[in-house]
Amino acid sequence: MRNNQLELGQEPIGKLLIKYSVPAIIGMLVNALYNVVDRIFIGNIPGVGSMAIAGLGVTMPIATIILAFGMLVGVGSATNVSIKLGQGKKEEAQNIIGSGMILSVIIGILLTVVGIIFCDQILNMFGASEATLSYAKAYTNILLLGATFAVMSMFFNNVIRGDGNPKLSAIIMVIGCLTNIVLDAILIFKFNMGIQGAAIATITSQALTSIWGLSYYLRKKSNLEFKVSTLKLNSKAIKSIFAIGVSPFAIQIAASLVQVISNQSLKTHGGDLAIGAMATISSISLLFLMPTFGISQGMQPIVGFNYGAKKYNRAVKTLKICILASTGIFLAGFIIIQVAPQLLVGMFNNDPELMGITINGLKKYTLTLPLLSIAIVGTNYVQSTGKAKMAIVLSLLRQCIFLIPLMAILPKIFGLNGVWFAQPTSDIISIIIISIILLKEIKSYTKEEKEEAVA
């Protein structure tokens, strides 16, 4: 076993989290910036910015679905690689990476074909109006052409970090994001390509990160020995990828479903501008959520390895530190949003009517932000220990099981404000349940350790 795997079971937890979480945080923020930067540039297109960003809001479920498949393969592969390495099963870890590569390509191609064929029907179902359909379609058709690169980019970002090279993973993502920003500015404003320019910039940068990630393995730079013979659909490897990856996949698919329901409700109670407001609110929320997603991803190899090695005290300590760190981030974000929301909203669009709707929604939508660390980190902890079924249920609580009914009921009572209040209400219920599950999970370790001691 290589040194970087041995350190997962021996080095101080704080030091490990800095090594693994900081690059992961950078990677997740960069991933968020792909969409955030697009929305900032599109929202500031002269004359059409407000309708263009509303059109982009309609495409959010599609981008989320692509992300879902990327996380299905990427997180599923990376978590299994960490667990297998912790168990000393190196060959199985190599098979997982090979199968994940092929799976990424197949899924990406299927998304492109199905998405383009049914583009108009999908966008209309997702909340497009006559005023926003042209913008949504112009962006979506190009985005779907790059679906394979999007899935592969997410896959390589996860597995490179999971097999012990978080620094390179972060560097690749940063370069990809900077490429996206530069191309956005050039294509949208210099070449007047509008919303299509933003889509081209996105898929070009994703292609760059995918090729870079692939070259890491082809040049045999990885900690796991890469073999061409592993580039096949190994049934055992695919089952293990799906078993773990289905949890984050379910979260994102549920998020996509919620976005569709939300768009329809926003369209009914607030019109196209309300959909544009939600696009901005989602972008601002991502800026504070992604660091915690990064912390959780950095936590994954540490928890996975130590849980596999039955070093439960180290796994639990990792959980506690991650919850405290993410709570601090969320609290800072909550204060900024409540005190100076206009600074954040103003980056996306300066239309007075749109800004008013957005600021009102943002302050209500993020009311439970300081408490979210328990839900997000706790769910990822359960996922990292390989408990797929439990992780799926916990994942769906705040994003689907409670949120969808609330999204249907509250707007009928409170109108547009009901849409904004649905998420924090779902958060509170979910956090209580997840806290109880986590406490039971941790107590089970003590029982197991006592039984082993007696044996």
| Backbone torsions φ then ψ of 158, nearest 5 degrees | -75, -50
Would you state the pLDDT for residue 152? 96
What pLDDT is attached to residue 3? 57
- pLDDT value, residue 1: 46
- For residues 288 and 6, the answer to whether their CB atoms sit within 8 Å is no
What is the predicted pLDDT for the residue at 449? Answer: 67
pLDDT of 5 reads: 63
pLDDT digits (tens, 9 = 90+) for 242-300: 998 987 888 788 889 889 999 999 999 999 999 999 999 999 998 999 899 889 988 98
**What's residue 24's pLDDT?**
77
Element (H, E) at 440: helix 416-454
Integer Cα distance of 104 and 70 in angstroms: 7
Residue 439 Cα distances to 293, 314, 317, 319, 372, angstroms: 21, 16, 13, 12, 17
- The domain limits of the chain are 8-449
Percent of the chain past pLDDT 70, that is, above it, reads 97
State which residues of the chain have pLDDT below 70.
1-5, 449-455
Judged on CB neighbours under 10 Å (0-12, 13-18, 19+), 268 is: middle
- Which string of b and e fits 350-359 if b means at least 16 CB within 10 Å? ebeebbebbb
